[in-house]
Amino acid sequence: MSIQAVKQRFEIIGDDPKLNLALEKAIRVAPTDISVLVTGESGVGKESIPRIIHSLSHRKHGKYIAVNCGAIPEGTIDSELFGHEKGAFTGASTTRSGYFEAADGGTIFLDEVGELPQSTQVRLLRVLENGEFMKVGSSQIQKTNVRIVAATNVKMDEAIKNGRFREDLYYRLSTVEINLPPLRKRTGDIHLLFRKFAADFAHKYKMPTVRLDEDAIALLVKYRWSGNIRQLRNVAEQISVLEQNRQIDAATLKHYLPDATANLPALINHSKSDSDFSSEREILYKVLFDMQRDINDLKSLTLELLKSGDTEDIEKEHSGLIEQIYENYDATPKETTPVDQKIEVLGIPSTENKEQPSYDYAEEIEEEESLSLQDNELDLIQKALEKHDGKRKAAAEELGISERTLYRKIKQYNL
């Protein structure tokens, strides 16, 4: 069957090259039994492809069952697809056949397959691999001979990366992938579709057909159509019913299109979730641990310097640590006295330079020690309690710890 014949039979409007390519793929795979995955945004008409494939296949006299996976609750979807035995769960008063049993010899269209729960994905993979399934509450293996055509508007690569969809199932479903383009990439078809919808609604509601002037057509074609064909059909129906004047200008059409700002890229929500706060705490703890470790290493190095009069070997041995703590430190040997060497390694101004202020090394050590994890933990707990007016439960949630742990910390620090 030709592409034009398919368009006429299934009332598909448009002559976009990408649309024609999708229809050509559907015609070619129809006589086979390979699984097909239809992808595209919501509202592009993905449900037409499975009907074309089924009607042109040798299964056309068998059953065609369309299942919206996103509309079935997670707790009952296994029962809907594979059936259940009597008493398998509360409310299962009789044995029930599922869609895979009922469609034996035909075609099942799984719409929004990306919404399937993980447990159902495992069952579906088994059907695809060897045609076997078990009813819920049964241990008996049953066979089915069905062809599966699936569709999704989910970006499958992201779903697989995030662990929401099994990679092996994706490759079994997408033996052939057919992508339908969004309406905004079919600009030449937009006005044709509107005229078709307007004529259909005029016949349905027994009124003259609405028509668009040139400015209105330009606005119609320029609009982004985030809801695709479904949104365009909705707009055409509203105008057909509500407008008394059958000649529509751009000003009138604007009233039926969401504000243009709705088509701009969405602003990123910068509000922080609990996971964001938890991540920040982990980073803070890591920084504090690293600082504490550097301080302890610095103490050991300082003690070693003070005990020995020669710093040249120590500088070579600990050059990495010195450069890490003192980024601008120059390890080039200088003609200085042992005392001056000790002072310069520590980054302390020489006492012989009268113009520079005196430096209390003990005070520096004390300031650095104030960065310990214990002090910061105490500070965080105090701030959380102050923020939530002493309510331990709210403060514990803010800190990402249990209320019992917070209570123990309060006793520990005598707060």
210-232: pLDDT as tens digits: 999 999 999 999 999 999 999 99
Q: What is the Cα–Cα distance from 353 to 366, expressed in whole angstroms? A: 25
Every domain of the chain with CATH number 3.40.50.300 lies at: 3-181
- Comparing CA positions, the residue from 306, 314, 348 lying closest to residue 333 is 314
* Regions of the chain where pLDDT drops below 70: 259-280, 303-375
Amino acid at 379: D
pLDDT at residue 198, rounded to an integer: 96
Q: In what order do the strands lie in the sheet with 107-111?
A: 64-68, 107-111, 147-152, 36-39, 176-179
CA distances (Å), origin 276, targets 271, 272, 283, 331, 382 = 9, 6, 11, 41, 21
Q: What is the Cα–Cα distance from 252 to 365, expressed in whole angstroms? A: 75
- Number of continuous H segments (helices) and E segments (strands) in the chain: 20, 9
Every domain of the chain with CATH number 1.10.8.60 lies at: 184-263
pLDDT at residue 393, rounded to an integer: 85
Q: Which two tokens stand for residue 128?
A: 């695809």
Whether the CB-CB separation of 5 and 55 falls below 8 Å is answered with no
Q: Which two tokens stand for residue 1?
A: 């069957």
Whether the CB-CB separation of 149 and 38 falls below 8 Å is answered with yes
pLDDT at residue 159, rounded to an integer: 94
| Alpha-carbon torsion, ordered 72, 48, 46, 234, to 10 deg | -90
Instruction: Name the pairing type of β-strands 132-133 and 142-143.
Output: antiparallel
Residues in the chain: 415
What is the dihedral sign for C-alpha 24, 27, 31, 36? Answer: positive
Q: What is the Cα–Cα distance from 205 to 239, expressed in whole angstroms? A: 12
pLDDT at residue 351, rounded to an integer: 45
How far is Cα of residue 354 from the mean position of the Cα atoms in its chain?
Answer: 63
3-181, which class in CATH?
Answer: alpha beta
pLDDT at residue 90, rounded to an integer: 83
* Phi (first) and psi of residue 394, to 5 degrees: -65, -40
Using N-to-C axis directions, what is the helix angle for 373-387 and 274-307, rounded to 10°? 150
CA distances (Å), origin 40, targets 29, 128, 158, 275, 323 = 18, 23, 15, 31, 55
The third-level CATH classification (topology) of the domain covering 184-263 is: Helicase, Ruva Protein; domain 3 (1.10.8)
The string of DSSP codes covering 71-129 is GS-TTTHHHHHH-B-TTSSTT--S-B--HHHHTTTSEEEEETGGG--HHHHHHHHHHHH
Q: Which two tokens stand for residue 377?
A: 């933990």
Q: What is the Cα–Cα distance from 16 to 191, expressed in whole angstroms? A: 13
pLDDT at residue 371, rounded to an integer: 52
Domain at 373-412: CATH code: 1.10.10
Other C-beta atoms lying within 10 Å of the C-beta of residue 221: 15
Say what the pTM is: 0.62
Every domain of the chain with CATH number 1.10.10 lies at: 373-412
The string of DSSP codes covering 241-295 is HH-SSSEE-HHHHHTTS--GGGGSPPPP-----HHHHHHHHHHHHHHHHHHHHHH
